[in-house]
Amino acid sequence: MTITARQFMVDTQLRARGISDPRVLDAMLRVPRDAFVSEPYRAEAYEDHPLPIGDDQTISQPYVVAVMLESLQLAPKDIVLEVGTGSGYVTALLAELAAQVFSIERHPALAANARTAIAALGYTNVQIFAGDGTLGLPAHAPFDAILVSAAAFKLPPALLSQLRDGGRMIVPVGPPDSQQLQLIRMHNGQPIISLRDPVRFVPLISDQT
Ligand code: SAH
């Protein structure tokens, strides 16, 4: 896939809809989304919608990814947790925007594919774990930012507790057909929640319940 298709995606789907953070736009121009989808869908890699990635899961729509990344206001020194690695596309973008990325995926086959794609692109600041992301990664906490790519029915308490003071979390919350992005900022031990765009994600499945 050429840079032209990616540039077109960035201009028409992101910039034209109000995404303005230059670091996010640059990262989305650099990361090849086609490297994270399988052959039958590669020609559609820069289109304005999610795509299947196996195990009934999907790679997120570029615009929704951009909204989530922009809301986190990542700094180059940040340590980030991602829940729901899926294809690894957002993982790669986080690797461009932050210092260190820890990512958890409950389907081992998807985690393995994502590791391969991430390694092929040469990222060395990423670790992908297979497991239940609702538990977070206590051994690597606290995090400056947490990005959850699957819909939580309610906020997972373990994730809130692994956010450092001043840290941000973006997470879709709600039932399967009506979710809303919530941006949470930890302030003096209290989560401050602001409601963002309505979205539709696959469910966050906790192995604990
Ligand atoms: N950002 C990813 C989105 C993948 S879809 C991409 O663009 O490719 C969401 C992913 O969350 C799915 O792969 C699903 O298996 C995973 N998931 C759902 N519940 C999970 C949980 N409790 N822990 C870790 N991953 C989970």
Q: How far apart are CA 183 and CA 161, in angstroms?
A: 15
pLDDT band at 1 (very low <50, low <70, confident <90, very high): low
- Classify residue 20 by burial, with Cβ atoms within 10 Å: 0-12, 13-18, 19+: exposed
Domain positions in the chain? 48-199
pTM score of the predicted model: 0.97
> Is the CB–ligand 1 distance for residue 205 below 6 Å?
yes
Q: How far apart are CA 7 and CA 104, in angstroms?
A: 29
- Classify residue 29 by burial, with Cβ atoms within 10 Å: 0-12, 13-18, 19+: middle
In sequence order, the β-bridge partners of residue 181 are 172
Judged by DSSP in three states, 24 sits in: helix
Q: What is the mean pLDDT of residues 72-95?
A: 98
Q: How far apart are CA 16 and CA 24, in angstroms?
A: 14
Is residue 20 part of the annotated active site? The answer reads: no
Q: Which two tokens stand for residue 156?
A: 């997972």
pLDDT band at 91 (very low <50, low <70, confident <90, very high): very high
Residue 168 Cα, ligand 1 centroid: separation in angstroms? Answer: 19
pLDDT digits (tens, 9 = 90+) for 164-173: 999 999 999 9
Q: What is the mean pLDDT of residues 39-48?
A: 95
On whether the CB atoms of residues 35 and 117 are closer than 8 A, the answer is yes
On whether the CB atoms of residues 1 and 29 are closer than 8 A, the answer is no
Q: Which residue of the set 60, 71, 87, 103 is catalytic?
A: 60
Q: Which residue's CA is minimally distant from atom 19 of ligand 1?
A: 204
On whether the CB atoms of residues 59 and 18 are closer than 8 A, the answer is no
List the alpha helices (DSSP H) in the chain: 3-9, 22-30, 62-72, 89-97, 108-120, 157-161
Q: How far apart are CA 125 and CA 79, in angstroms?
A: 10
* Angle ∠(135,137,142) on CA atoms, nearest 5: 115
pLDDT band at 206 (very low <50, low <70, confident <90, very high): confident
Q: Which class is domain 48-199?
A: alpha beta
Tokens 């986080």 appear where? 94
Phi, psi of 25 (to 5 degrees): -60, -40
Judged by DSSP in three states, 139 sits in: helix
